[in-house]
Structure 1
Amino acid sequence: MLDDITVVARYISIWHSHAKGKPNDPWSLDAVFMDPQGNRIQATIKRDHITKFAGLLEEGACYRIRNFGVGENGGKYPLLPHKYKINFFKNTSLTRMNRFDTNLNGFKFEPFLRFSTRRWSEQEAVDIIGTIVSIGDPIPFGDNQKRRTVILEDAE
């Protein structure tokens, strides 16, 4: 167990996790951070600590993160294929710093050919520039969920 590690990362995405049917009762605040090399990792802030950190986080801003925990990135639908995630605790330190690059939204662009031939992990979130040609009707799947088929065309 190492307790003196500092991570420098850009905060690129955030959402509240909550029990099904209880959108106003979050059990955690989840985020994605990206380091200067483009590596991304998910972070979780449990309900007891949301008020401490929610007001400090701004999408696109860069931070030094200290005194955090590392746990398995489990769950039914992890956003990233990374094996681990960062856990914020009461004594976690979050210090805003100057931006280290211009990729404010943390985009991870993939060439259209890689997208159309599925050359990445299905659990990995990637960004593609293309034109939406059509969007299909909702299709039920899983536990009362729906998905849609989207047809994209290479913008080039």
Structure 2
Amino acid sequence: MALKVDDLSKIDASKETWDVVVKVLRLWLTPSYSGSKLPSSLEMVLMDSNGCKIYASIRRTLVYRFQNQITEGRVYQISFFGVCENGGEFWTTSHSYKINFQMHSSVRLMSSTSITGNPFSFMSLSDVVFKEPDTSFLIGI
């Protein structure tokens, strides 16, 4: 039986129950700016089998719950998470929304699923030199 999951391109704030299968492209801890030894948050860039990418965040109070469950480069089924608009001055991806893990979020390692799409979005050299790049989200050079 095929697993019924949502495409990341469909993720928005219209409903509360989403179920995605994604590859963790990047995973990093953000340090606390208050001098605490505990990290401020755990941040991720996720990609689905269609190559769509979305930013995800785990706040300080939940890092302990998920930190040892998630590894960069692995594929997971993630369920029961919050979705909000991707705001702020700098975006990690161009997706209009972002994922926020919650206490009841579920993360399950997918051993038989591989997501092999290209995680990079390249620009031609002429576009880099002669066009104003869109700096509203991170780009790789």
Normalised TM-score (structure 2):
0.74
**1:29–1:50 contact (8 Å) kept in structure 2:** yes
Runs of 4+ in 1 over 4 A off after TM superposition: none
In the other structure, the counterpart of 1:8 is: 21
Give the drift of 1:120.
Answer: 4.5
1:40-119 correspondence to structure 2 within 5 Å: 40-97=53-110, 98-101=113-116, 103=118, 106-118=119-131
**2:89–2:136 contact (8 Å) kept in structure 1:** no
Give the drift of 1:84.
Answer: 1.3
User: Structure 1 stretches of 5 or more lacking a match?
Assistant: 129-156
In the other structure, the counterpart of 1:137 is: none
Is 1:127 the counterpart of 2:140 in the alignment?
yes
Is 1:39 the counterpart of 2:52 in the alignment?
yes
The code of the aligned residue for 1:125 comes to L
The CA distance in 2 between the partners of 1:38 and 1:115, in whole Å, is: 22
User: Structure 2 stretches of 5 or more lacking a match?
Assistant: 1-13
Normalized per residue, the structure richer in strand is 1
**Greater displacement, 108-117 / 24-33:** 108-117
**Greater displacement, 84-93 / 11-20:** 11-20
**1:16–1:28 contact (8 Å) kept in structure 2:** yes
CA offsets 1:23-51 (integer angstroms, 9 cap, x no match): 73422111111112222111110111111
Give the secondary-structure state (helix, strand or coil) at the position aligned to 2:40: strand
Alpha-carbon RMSD across the aligned residues, in angstroms, is 2.3
| 1:77–1:21 CA distance, 2 compared to 1 (3 A) | farther
Give the drift of 1:67.
Answer: 0.3
The CA distance in 2 between the partners of 1:86 and 1:101, in whole Å, is: 22
1:132-143 correspondence to structure 2 within 5 Å: none
Which structure exhibits the higher relative contact order, with contacts defined as CA atoms closer than 8 Å and separated by 6 or more residues? 2
The CA distance in 2 between the partners of 1:79 and 1:3, in whole Å, is: 23
In the other structure, the counterpart of 1:138 is: none
The CA distance in 2 between the partners of 1:20 and 1:96, in whole Å, is: 32
Aligned residues: 126
